[in-house]
């Protein structure tokens, strides 16, 4: 059951770079889900990257500049929601640490308290227990590293998926094991990354599921690319697209999203 706020609260949607550039339908699906849950949603035009690539590369000065702009852009909202555990983890966990001892420390902490990953927000904050969506077929779910380990996201997407009419969940072995993407990791250590994703696609295919879902587009693109190169017919989608009933676009890696 959905617990609509008495007064619509304003949500600032942090779209993420990959969604903006490669799969905007995830952003549209996120807006649809949030609005149906009773929230007013804005997508600030001034938003940029969360700063994770520069942060992981050790570029502290650029990361701080990006973080300050992000905080200034979003701190006016009641909630900040991202369809990515990785980006949400950067905003929520690493921004406060980044500004420790800095004049921006209090602002960073206040900002972080408002940050949520999409499925976590819908279940844990909005009180959503079901969605009005249908999906004909079997799916398996990959738990992305940052969302699972930094934000504790595991049951939330599964809870919502269990309400999707016609959807059959087939859990894969080692669903919580890394897909090999890891942001800059796949660039710095391509051979190791490739071996990891090979093992991941083996577990995906072993389920017999027709569709792979996850909550992070970086992971999905990495797995989709490997599955395609292996000649697999498994389709890859973001969980928000299925929950919002917006699964009629080509699967990730198989056409313009």
Helical (H) or strand (E) element with 30: helix 24-36
Is the pLDDT assigned to residue 213 strictly greater than 80?
yes
What phi and psi, each to the nearest 5 degrees, are found at residue 240?
A: -60, -35
Three-state SS for 138?
strand
Across the strands, what pairs with 41? 11
Structural domains in the chain plus CATH codes: 10-124 (no CATH), 129-243 (3.40.50)
pLDDT band at 4 (very low <50, low <70, confident <90, very high): low
* Span 117-128, pLDDT tens digits: 999 999 999 999
pLDDT band at 257 (very low <50, low <70, confident <90, very high): very low
Residue percentage of the chain with pLDDT more than 70:
96
* Span 70-80, pLDDT tens digits: 999 999 999 99
Is the pLDDT assigned to residue 8 strictly greater than 90?
no
C-beta separation of 88 from 145 below 8 A: no
Predicted model pTM: 0.93
**How many C-alpha atoms does 211 have within 13 Å on its Cβ side?**
20
pLDDT band at 1 (very low <50, low <70, confident <90, very high): very low
Task: Give me the chain's average pLDDT, please.
Answer: 94
C-beta separation of 52 from 120 below 8 A: no
Average pLDDT over residues 32-55: 96
Is the pLDDT assigned to residue 153 strictly greater than 60?
yes
Looking up tokens 């889900």 gives: 33
* Span 98-145, pLDDT tens digits: 999 999 999 999 999 999 999 999 999 999 999 999 999 999 999 999
Helical (H) or strand (E) element with 25: helix 24-36
- Strand 165-169 and strand 115-117: pairing? unpaired
C-beta separation of 179 from 197 below 8 A: yes
């Amino acid at each position: 059951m959905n617990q609509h706020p008495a007064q619509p609260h304003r949500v600032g949607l942090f779209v993420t770079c990959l969604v903006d550039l490669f799969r905007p339908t995830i952003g549209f699906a996120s807006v649809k889900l949030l609005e149906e849950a009773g929230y007013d949603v804005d997508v600030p035009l001034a938003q940029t990257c969360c700063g994770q690539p520069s942060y992981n590369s050790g570029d502290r000065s650029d990361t701080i500049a990006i973080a300050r702009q992000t905080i200034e852009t979003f701190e006016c909202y009641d909630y900040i929601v991202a369809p990515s555990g990785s980006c949400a983890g950067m905003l929520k966990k690493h921004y406060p640490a980044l500004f420790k001892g800095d004049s921006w420390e209090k602002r960073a902490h206040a900002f972080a308290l408002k940050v949520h990953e999409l499925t976590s927000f819908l279940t844990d904050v909005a009180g959503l227990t079901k969605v009005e969506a249908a999906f004909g077929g079997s799916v398996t779910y990959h738990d992305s590293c940052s969302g699972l380990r930094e934000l504790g996201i595991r049951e939330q997407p599964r809870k919502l998926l269990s309400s999707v009419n016609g959807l059959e969940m087939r859990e894969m072995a080692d669903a919580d094991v890394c897909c090999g993407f890891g942001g800059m990791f796949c660039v710095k250590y391509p051979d190791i990354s490739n071996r990891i994703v090979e093992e991941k696609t083996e577990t995906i295919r072993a389920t017999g599921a027709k569709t792979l879902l996850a909550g992070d587009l970086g992971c999905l693109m990495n797995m989709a690319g490997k599955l395609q190169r292996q000649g697999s017919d498994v389709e890859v989608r973001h969980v928000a697209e299925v929950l919002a009933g917006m699964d009629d676009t080509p699967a990730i890696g198989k056409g313009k999203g």
